[in-house]
Structure 1
Amino acid sequence: MINIPSPALSIVGRHNSGKTTLIERLIAELVRRGHDVGSVKHHSHVGFDIDIPGKDSYRHRAAGASETVIAAPGQMACVKTVEGELECADIVRGMPGHDIVVVEGYRKSGLPTIEIMRAGNEADARVAEVFAEGARRGWPLGTDFTQFTRGAVPPADDEAREALRRAEADSRGAAGRASGEHFKTQHPDHADISNKLPTANTVAVVTDIDAACEAAALYGVPAFGFDDVAGLADFVEEHYVRPRVTVVIQAGGESRRMGQSKATVPFAGRPLICRIVERLAPAADDLVITTNEPENLAFLHAEFPQLRIQLVRDVYDVRGALPGLCTALESARNPYVAVVACDMVFASASLVVAEALAMNESGADVVVPVNKHGFEPFHALYRRAGCLPAVRAAIDRGEKRAQSFFGEVEVFEFTQDRVLEAEPMGGCFINANTPEELHALEESFLEK
């Protein structure tokens, strides 16, 4: 079973800012659009339980079980004892296969963050004032405002420092009635607004406060109203939801060095193409196999009926990597196109997803792994709209190499470190060109 990592973002705000209501509406809208959504709720207090004392599962835990699974038709819950508090990244890593995971809280997780500020909430209003003041004075988004309030603001910014001091004093309640430390103990959600300001990870603001809208505009961050759930969903869908990907497996046909079609050569007792399909299907919203022998691969429809595989002939009579890439791009139904050669025995669905998320983030036209051997264009991701015209133009010039058009589009180089982060086992680009190479790979596979 290949676990596809889920992209995630966090929605944060102060106590009573409306986080849960907004998240509920955003999840409903994303699900309505056909996305699989997971969610995480950060509970700041020690000790909670999802089961009722006296119930059987509760009694299991009370007896000392460190992990209890509660299972019923259509539902399952797990309560597990852990040391300390898990990092948000570890929690999300344990939730593979979602199009997006929406996290409530975990401001310091490093996730892309959507900040909520509501006019009816006094703490939000104070934060909005400080947020706007920092934006007006050109402080970088994510400035450590705590340092400014402790005297680190340049002399010219005395007025700003004093405004921040007043805001923090206000956030502690009536000055003189309780010390700051006592207030932090009694009111942890309101104690120190400098720790609850937008950070460098803030990617959007949801607010009805004019000062917050002003700050967002100065920082170049989009701002949405509380009722604009559709607009917020559009933003999340465009930048953070797992993109829809067409996976194209290139299986051109006869291979002179292999002595027969690579697609149908036996591997571990089955045609090699079956292994590649099974490895890449988890990352495919649409699966295409480009081949000059569709009649010999028709058995795949019966083998994988749920995948609705398209078998597509090359659109060009001439052979070459670039014409094959053009066929892949033309046959794709989705905006992102992963192209993988059928002889890459350890092709990785996780790498495809990581490349798609990098394309989402970077806006690049090509996300291509790069190592000491150069580019790996046949385990790369292509933006159909940006690449197809450039590929056609390169073919018209007589080019045949896959990367011959890279100079005309925006290319994101996916480093070896990032490849290994996505696929720790490595080996994604190993291919078999001869029976001897394939046999060696088969022996390695069977030994594992």
Structure 2
Amino acid sequence: MVNVPSPAISIVGRHNSGKTTLIVKLIEELVARGHDVGSVKHHSHKGFDIDYPGKDSYRHREAGASETVISAPGQIARMKTFEGEAECSEIVRSMPGHDIIVVEGYRKSGLPTIELMRSGNEADQRVAEAFALGAERGWTLGTDFTQIAKSLFTSEGERIEGAEEALDGILCGDGGRSGQASVGETGAPQTAEDEKDDIHPDFEHKMPCAGTVAIVTDIPRAIEAAAAYGIPAIGLNDTAALADFVEKYFVRPRVTVVIQAGGESRRMGRSKATVPFLGRPLICRLIERLSPVADDLVITTNEPDNLTFLHREFPQLNIQLVCDMFTSRGALPGLYTALQAARNPYVAVVACDMVFASGSLVVAEALCMNETGADVVVPVNKHGFEPFHAMYRRMECLPAVRRALDRGEKRAQSFFGDESVDVYEFPQSKVLEAEPMGGCFINANTPDELHALEDMVMEG
């Protein structure tokens, strides 16, 4: 069983913006839609506890245990003592298997962030004004908006008279970057270094940034700024619209995983699906590695009767055994069968002899398809395309594959040049991000190769 990384997004804002209320509503909506949601709360003050004096687990930690796990039927909690603060990325990596993790805070985590600005919060109103003026002047979303905020407000948060006019001469078109001049409360130029001591706390590290993907707000000026930057502005109380946005771009997409088992392999001397690997049919290894990321699992084969044992072996998976639609052999006819059999819009197609097939790579490809809008996400390395560990958008690829078949094509990638299909080449660097151990595309064509891979698994 693989630990599939969970995609994550952060909801950020200033104190009293209403982050927790918004997140609770978002989680409720996503769960109601059938998604498995994890959550992380960033507690900004040092020290908190989920236990209290007198309980046995508390006594364990008081005695000096650096880590204590409290386990009960249906629940588990872990308390660990260490120096410093855990990185958000480490926390997210420790929470695999969720469709989405919603993080409260951790603005500097590197996660995509949704910025909350509420009209009832004065700090949010000041931030929205600075955000809007930056947008009007064409400063990039990565601008240090603390420069703008300093020019608009005193350190007590009072509006500076004539600040908008003074802004016209700021920064010489450099967008508020460090070391450029800005205007202080008296109108005299100051550098970013001069401003550090008297910047209002609302603005320090609490402004929209390059990682901001959406704004949730009821402030008109913030809505204007979001439009100028080309990012969506979602109504403060429109939980359904927020869930739609998160679901479309960040939730792990619904994926049909198709394992192409074919039939007798001439070089192997028998069916690859049923050839023994570490004492079990090879197809069982593929199912165990890929089923955790499959919302629907299909095996295409021309020997379905020989694979019915899989229903007994994996009764919980509702595996579909689908016969090849074409009598002619070839990779492209098999791909067409896979796309036709799938029940979900995203289809991961994997060959049954890929011993190190990766569920994590399947998820990474699906999220990439979400992000890019591509119709095919296919790994590319020095050997070329790897179409049998790739992701396909079902309805967009089916007609293009059919056209290629009608031309007599047999190779899987022969439809990639179709003008209706947008192909994203997934580089080796991203493959290794998803699966650091690599080896995803190694396959076994002969008994000797299979034995060598068995030895590799046993050794490592």
Question: TM-score, normalized by length of structure 1?
Answer: 0.92
Provide the rounded CA distance (Å) in 1 between the counterparts of 2:130 and 2:5.
Answer: 37
Q: Does 1:445 align with 2:449?
A: no
Q: Which amino acid aligns with 2:113?
A: T
Offset, 1:397: 1.2
Aligned-pair Cα RMSD in Å: 2.2
Q: Which residue is equivalent to 1:73? A: 73
User: SS state of the match for residue 79, structure 2?
Assistant: strand
Which residue of 375, 380, 383 maps to 2:390?
380
User: SS state of the match for residue 271, structure 2?
Assistant: coil
Matches of residues 115-126 of structure 1 in structure 2 within 5 Å? 115-126=115-126
Q: Does 1:295 align with 2:305?
A: yes
Q: Which residue is equivalent to 2:169? A: 158
Q: Which residue is equivalent to 2:355? A: 345
Which residue of 237, 248, 259 maps to 1:227?
237
Name whichever of 191-200 and 153-162 sits farther off: 153-162
Structure 1 unmatched ranges of 5 or more:
167-178, 185-189
Deviation >4 Å, runs of 4+: 147-151, 153-156, 159-166
Q: Which residue is equivalent to 1:242? A: 252
Which residue of 287, 308, 312 maps to 2:318?
308
Task: Tell whether the 8 Å contact from 1:250 to 1:342 is kept in structure 2 after alignment.
Answer: yes
Offset, 1:264: 0.8
Task: Tell whether the 8 Å contact from 1:180 to 1:191 is kept in structure 2 after alignment.
Answer: no
Which residue of 266, 271, 276 maps to 2:286?
276
User: SS state of the match for residue 38, structure 2?
Assistant: strand
Provide the rounded CA distance (Å) in 1 between the counterparts of 2:184 and 2:227.
Answer: 25
Provide the rounded CA distance (Å) in 2 between the counterparts of 1:319 and 1:286.
Answer: 25
Which residue of 432, 438, 441 maps to 1:429?
441
Q: Which residue is equivalent to 1:208? A: 218
User: SS state of the match for residue 139, structure 2?
Assistant: coil
Offset, 1:150: 7.9
Offset, 1:446: 2.4
Provide the rounded CA distance (Å) in 2 between the counterparts of 1:163 and 1:210.
Answer: 26
Question: TM-score, normalized by length of structure 2?
Answer: 0.89
* Identical residues among aligned pairs (%): 75
Provide the rounded CA distance (Å) in 2 between the counterparts of 1:159 and 1:124.
Answer: 23
Q: Which residue is equivalent to 1:176? A: none
CA 1:292–1:131 in structure 2 vs 1: closer, same or farther (change >3 Å)? same
Q: Does 1:36 align with 2:36?
A: yes
Provide the rounded CA distance (Å) in 1 between the counterparts of 2:53 and 2:125.
Answer: 40
Task: Tell whether the 8 Å contact from 1:149 to 1:164 is kept in structure 2 after alignment.
Answer: no
Offset, 1:53: 2.4
Task: Tell whether the 8 Å contact from 2:130 to 2:148 is kept in structure 1 after alignment.
Answer: no
Q: Which residue is equivalent to 2:10? A: 10
Task: Tell whether the 8 Å contact from 1:356 to 1:381 is kept in structure 2 after alignment.
Answer: yes
Task: State the Cα deviation string for residues 78-103 of structure 1 (Å, max 9, x = none).
Answer: 11012201111111011100000000
Task: Tell whether the 8 Å contact from 2:123 to 2:202 is kept in structure 1 after alignment.
Answer: no
CA 1:13–1:155 in structure 2 vs 1: closer, same or farther (change >3 Å)? closer
Task: State the Cα deviation string for residues 217-274 of structure 1 (Å, max 9, x = none).
Answer: 1111111112210011011001000011100000110111111111111111111111
Q: Does 1:407 align with 2:417?
A: yes
Which residue of 197, 201, 206 maps to 2:207?
197
Q: Which amino acid aligns with 1:370?
A: V
Q: Which amino acid aligns with 1:84?
A: G
Provide the rounded CA distance (Å) in 1 between the counterparts of 2:334 and 2:100.
Answer: 32
Provide the rounded CA distance (Å) in 2 between the counterparts of 1:159 and 1:433.
Answer: 66
Offset, 1:426: 1.2
User: SS state of the match for residue 198, structure 1?
Assistant: coil
Q: Which residue is equivalent to 1:103? A: 103
Task: Tell whether the 8 Å contact from 1:149 to 1:165 is kept in structure 2 after alignment.
Answer: no
Q: Which amino acid aligns with 1:371?
A: N
Q: Which residue is equivalent to 1:254? A: 264
Offset, 1:301: 0.4
Provide the rounded CA distance (Å) in 2 between the counterparts of 1:301 and 1:333.
Answer: 19
Q: Which amino acid aligns with 2:440?
A: C
Q: Which amino acid aligns with 1:390?
A: A
Provide the rounded CA distance (Å) in 2 between the counterparts of 1:206 and 1:145.
Answer: 18
Task: Tell whether the 8 Å contact from 2:167 to 2:183 is kept in structure 1 after alignment.
Answer: no
Provide the rounded CA distance (Å) in 2 between the counterparts of 1:253 and 1:36.
Answer: 36
Provide the rounded CA distance (Å) in 2 between the counterparts of 1:446 and 1:74.
Answer: 34
Task: State the Cα deviation string for residues 180-227 of structure 1 (Å, max 9, x = none).
Answer: 85x88xxxxx61415211011111111010000111111111111122
Task: State the Cα deviation string for residues 282-333 of structure 1 (Å, max 9, x = none).
Answer: 1111000000000010110000000000000111221111111011111000
User: SS state of the match for residue 247, structure 1?
Assistant: strand
Count of aligned pairs between the two proteins:
429
Q: Which residue is equivalent to 1:318? A: 328
Task: Tell whether the 8 Å contact from 1:17 to 1:116 is kept in structure 2 after alignment.
Answer: yes
Offset, 1:416: 1.1
Q: Which residue is equivalent to 1:355? A: 365
Offset, 1:411: 1.3
Q: Which residue is equivalent to 1:336? A: 346
Provide the rounded CA distance (Å) in 1 between the counterparts of 2:49 and 2:213.
Answer: 33
Q: Which residue is equivalent to 1:266? A: 276
Task: Tell whether the 8 Å contact from 1:113 to 1:204 is kept in structure 2 after alignment.
Answer: yes
User: SS state of the match for residue 22, structure 1?
Assistant: helix
Q: Which residue is equivalent to 1:91? A: 91
Provide the rounded CA distance (Å) in 2 between the counterparts of 1:27 and 1:165.
Answer: 43
Provide the rounded CA distance (Å) in 1 between the counterparts of 2:347 and 2:77.
Answer: 36
Task: Tell whether the 8 Å contact from 2:118 to 2:218 is kept in structure 1 after alignment.
Answer: yes
Provide the rounded CA distance (Å) in 1 between the counterparts of 2:132 and 2:237.
Answer: 22
Q: Which amino acid aligns with 1:229?
A: T
CA 1:252–1:13 in structure 2 vs 1: closer, same or farther (change >3 Å)? same
User: SS state of the match for residue 251, structure 1?
Assistant: strand
